[in-house]
Structure 1
Amino acid sequence: MKELFKQIPSVDQILSKKEIKDLIDKFGYPLVKDSVRKSIEKVRDEIKSGKLKEKIPEMVFELIPLKVEEVIKPSLKKVINGTGIIIHTNLGRAVLPESVADYIKSLSTCYSNLEYDIEKGKRGHRDSHAERLLSTFFNVEAATVVNNNAAAVMLIINTFAEGKEVVVSRGELIEIGGSFRIPEIMKKAGAKLVEVGTTNKTHLEDYANAINENTGLVLKVHPSNYRITGFTKSVPAKDIAKLCKQKGVVFAEDMGSGNIYDLSELGINDEPTVKESVNAGIDLISFSGDKLLGCVQAGIIIGKKEYIGRIRKNHLLRALRVDKITYAAIEKHMELLLREKYHEIPVYNMIFKQAEAIRKEIEEFISGFKLENSELEIVETSSKIGGGTTPEREIGSFALTFNLNKSPEEIEQYFRSREIPVIGRIKGERFLIDFRTILKKDIPILKNYVSQLLSH
């Protein structure tokens, strides 16, 4: 074994070779040197385990460019979503409209007036770019933006209830993905939680009895990814708003998904809209930018100017603020909504796409292949909106499936291991690609992968 170790070239010997110098010119000295060390370590381990007994120097040199590639290759990459889940948190949530992406690009490679008032010739406020359009669309007095909705909720609580009490219905003390828990957010924001009602029933008098001189905020929380059904009761937002106004307490709502659409035509009647909350008289409303709004990750807070003003004076806002990219995206996206250009918004198109149109898309897709034994088949399935929206509700859809001499797990692994991974789902004994979430620009890529699969 000692003789084998002696065959490993030194770091200096390796770095002096022409092919390694070429790598250095391309990728830089520090990265290549680190890759050389890792390659040597890998070869040592292989020798120790008895797996490598010859061609030691050659193996070291083979490994070096591979180790460089491991580091330099981006880990965040494009995937094709065939799951049928429109707002898929694991796959990046909302797909941006092309015009929004173009606008982001136009402002990313130059300077901008992020915090400069061109008209007055002095420093401005970055919130002004999004506030104008958000306020107009939602018919509110003011708006501000932070990096996500969890931050928005924390900022609201900290601003109005640090060292005070926050009243919340026991049935709304949720935990959602990533262990986001309302009680924990309360603690971090420096507020004391006051639970009212029971898990399944809360009455207006429960709120009234809990509000006192130490109450800083009454908070209503969207149930997000769960529902309590059966013997239940919750208090309408407008009644809580009226009570809070009488008591002189700020009333805020964490809407989570930030629904802006009428989903009743899909048979979904329990997902309130942001505008409904505004009309109910809620003082402050927060929601995500990358869920049903269909834009980038952000925590959007809208409501009364007086209260938005107090939030802006909170020093915590600076730690949670967003950059020019986020403002550019929100500004352009809200412009699309104000102009009612819904057909340009991928989330909207996916949600309201008719199942029959999806079936026809798959038929057209299949027609491009010469099949012998019905290797490709269309099956009825169900899609979901995702992002914590209406977790029990599904939307009728169609999917592509495969009749091959392969297990669904093998087919799933095949698509997931492509250069641009295709993420589908296994249901029963079949692997499905739901075309509701397949983008038109990705159809040629998918066709190529299917063609390769059929030829194996």
Structure 2
Amino acid sequence: MSAPAPKPLRTLPAVETLLRHPALGPALAALPRSLVVEAVRAEIAAERARLRRAGGAAAAPEALAGGAAARALAAGRPMLRRVLNATGVVLHTNLGRAPLSAAARRAVEEVARGYSSLEYDLVTGRRGDRGIGVERWLTRLTGAEAALVVNNGAAAILLALAALATGRTVIVSRGELVEIGGSFRIPEIMERSGARLAEVGTTNRTHLRDYERALERHGDTAAILRVHPSNFRLAGFTTRPTLAELARLAHRRRVLLIEDLGSGALVDLAPFGLESEPTVRESLTAGCDVVTFSGDKLLGATQAGLILGGKGPLGRIRRDSLARALRVDKLTLAALEATLPEYVDPERAARDIPALAMLHADEAALERRAGVLAERLERALPGARARVARGAGEVGGGALPLQRLPGWVVSLEWPGRSAGDLEALARSAEPPVIGYIRGGKLRLDVRTLTDDDALAAAEALGRAAGHPGA
């Protein structure tokens, strides 16, 4: 009489036994052993739970080892990875906003290789000032007397208010008490800065006399804050004073005029066929004492908050203890200092700074790129249908909210797979391809793909679908 078959749970291998399986060799060679051990334990625990729930025979050691290897590799893969942006949103906040220029990437790589002159003056051999190279270019390009770099746009306005208005009143129009992204709201930033908010006007109409009356009521006023509507628009029956009018009033009453420009254009965007945005130089020329804006929006560089203005207020901001807590690192400074010189020649900036190049990309070139992508996708995904169609991209990043960017997209269908299946497949590719679903089809907008990116996207989807050589 034959012996009874062992119970399925007892056939599961021990952790050390499974770790010796050849299928786990590459994972053990590439990853810390503890991470692979953790993955093996998780795979065995999952199989044990399945057997208790559904019964049946235990998975073969080969399957368990393969599952554990996949778990380990997934756990060891960085969460922050390069992706191919096929959304058509140029300054996509979730995808890192502005891509860096070739010059900025080279500068970051060079500085990251080892030590740097971050706070060392190579001429005198003494301690130097962090960020002086970026500040030199900012003042040269905008006419500002002084400049300072902090870690993002919200930090810039927070620091400016903390240094210049703590314990005092700051006057703001009700129509400008906005949320600037990530649930950060202007009134909350002002509260954290220690400044007291005085609202004037109404949501849609604020007159110069409203500011005048507020100045009469609040004798402790430190500043008037102007928030440029870079991520929103009020239309219809609206009015507000010009920046020059506010500057004259502020200076007559001996208070500061601070403007949060948000997206912060350094050049006029109208020649690109885009909605006009005030430039930093224009705000300073109009009489602003301090202007703040972001580095990774229309400037086209890395995340940073830029503060420009007169030497007096900038000196106070620089000396504030919060400035050290909000300062940026060497890689941010390297990217900024490599990007800013491009703006000496606006035509060069429009060509070499990726965000600007994408914003004014030639429609004929986009159509050709879409055609190549469609052809390569059908080759990489046998049986799929890729069609070139009209599309409209967006600026994104809280900049030019009403601007649409006419262009071309590739609409992808694959019999037997839903649009959701294709979107998930694209996200699982290496590198991941991020598109969007519209009309029951996966759409890939080529505005935010370079020619090389378009080819890489097709190849990545082919590999993800199991057709690497198609």
TM-score, scaled relative to structure 1:
0.90
1:354 to 330, 352, 362: 362
- In the TM superposition, 1:35-434 aligns within 5 A as 35-50=39-54, 53-55=57-59, 60-211=64-215, 212-265=218-271, 268-340=274-346, 341-342=348-349, 343-366=351-374, 375-402=385-412, 405=415, 407-434=418-445
2:453 to 431, 442, 449: 442
Contact 2:411 2:442 in 1 (8 A): yes
2:3 aligned partner:
none
C-alpha distance in structure 1 between counterparts of 2:461 and 2:65, whole Å: 36
C-alpha distance in structure 2 between counterparts of 1:451 and 1:59, whole Å: 25
Q: Deviations over 1:181-231 (max 9, x none)?
A: 111111211222111100000011111221233212211112232211110
SS of the residue 1:35 aligns to: helix
- The one-letter amino acid paired with 1:393 is Q
TM-score, scaled relative to structure 2:
0.88
Return the offset for 1:37. Answer: 3.4
Most deviating of 202-211 and 60-69: 60-69
Q: Identical aligned pairs, as a percentage? A: 37
Change (3 A) 1:354 1:41: same
C-alpha distance in structure 2 between counterparts of 1:410 and 1:57, whole Å: 30
SS of the residue 2:267 aligns to: coil
2:36 aligned partner:
32
Return the offset for 1:278. Answer: 1.5
- The one-letter amino acid paired with 1:35 is A
Most deviating of 40-49 and 110-119: 40-49
- The one-letter amino acid paired with 1:213 is G
Return the offset for 1:274. Answer: 1.6
Change (3 A) 1:367 1:50: closer
C-alpha distance in structure 2 between counterparts of 1:9 and 1:251, whole Å: 72
- The one-letter amino acid paired with 1:420 is P
C-alpha distance in structure 2 between counterparts of 1:171 and 1:390, whole Å: 17
SS of the residue 2:182 aligns to: helix
SS of the residue 2:245 aligns to: helix
Return the offset for 1:385. Answer: 1.2
Q: Deviations over 1:64-88 (max 9, x none)?
A: 3233212211122222112111111
Most deviating of 58-67 and 244-253: 58-67
> Unpaired runs of 5+ in structure 2?
1-5
The number of residues matched between the two structures is: 456
C-alpha distance in structure 1 between counterparts of 2:36 and 2:387, whole Å: 49
Contact 1:383 1:436 in 2 (8 A): yes
Return the offset for 1:396. Answer: 1.6
- The one-letter amino acid paired with 2:146 is A
Change (3 A) 1:142 1:454: same
Return the offset for 1:3. Answer: 4.3
Return the offset for 1:13. Answer: 5.7
Change (3 A) 1:171 1:440: same
Q: Deviations over 1:309-361 (max 9, x none)?
A: 11111111111110110111111111222244221111111111122332233
SS of the residue 2:58 aligns to: coil
Q: Deviations over 1:398-450 (max 9, x none)?
A: 22224654654444334333222222223334432222111122132234357
C-alpha distance in structure 2 between counterparts of 1:450 and 1:21, whole Å: 27
SS of the residue 1:116 aligns to: coil
Contact 2:135 2:148 in 1 (8 A): yes
Contact 1:218 1:251 in 2 (8 A): yes
Contact 1:186 1:192 in 2 (8 A): yes
- The one-letter amino acid paired with 1:311 is I
C-alpha distance in structure 2 between counterparts of 1:127 and 1:450, whole Å: 42
C-alpha distance in structure 1 between counterparts of 2:429 and 2:139, whole Å: 44
Most deviating of 350-359 and 444-453: 444-453
Q: CA RMSD in A?
A: 3.0
Return the offset for 1:4. Answer: 4.1
- The one-letter amino acid paired with 1:436 is R
Most deviating of 291-300 and 441-450: 441-450
Contact 1:4 1:56 in 2 (8 A): no
Contact 1:144 1:300 in 2 (8 A): yes
- The one-letter amino acid paired with 1:254 is D
Most deviating of 168-177 and 43-52: 43-52
Q: Deviations over 1:158-183 (max 9, x none)?
A: 11111222211100011133111111
Return the offset for 1:5. Answer: 4.0
> Unpaired runs of 5+ in structure 1?
none
Change (3 A) 1:409 1:368: closer
Contact 2:413 2:442 in 1 (8 A): no
- The one-letter amino acid paired with 2:427 is R
Contact 2:23 2:69 in 1 (8 A): no
Change (3 A) 1:86 1:18: closer
Change (3 A) 1:354 1:43: same
Return the offset for 1:16. Answer: 7.5
- The one-letter amino acid paired with 1:386 is G
Return the offset for 1:113. Answer: 1.1
SS of the residue 1:386 aligns to: coil
Q: Deviations over 1:106-163 (max 9, x none)?
A: 1101211111122222211102121111110111111111110011111111111112
SS of the residue 1:309 aligns to: helix
Change (3 A) 1:128 1:370: closer
Contact 2:204 2:234 in 1 (8 A): yes
Contact 1:221 1:255 in 2 (8 A): yes
Change (3 A) 1:37 1:330: same
C-alpha distance in structure 1 between counterparts of 2:329 and 2:207, whole Å: 42
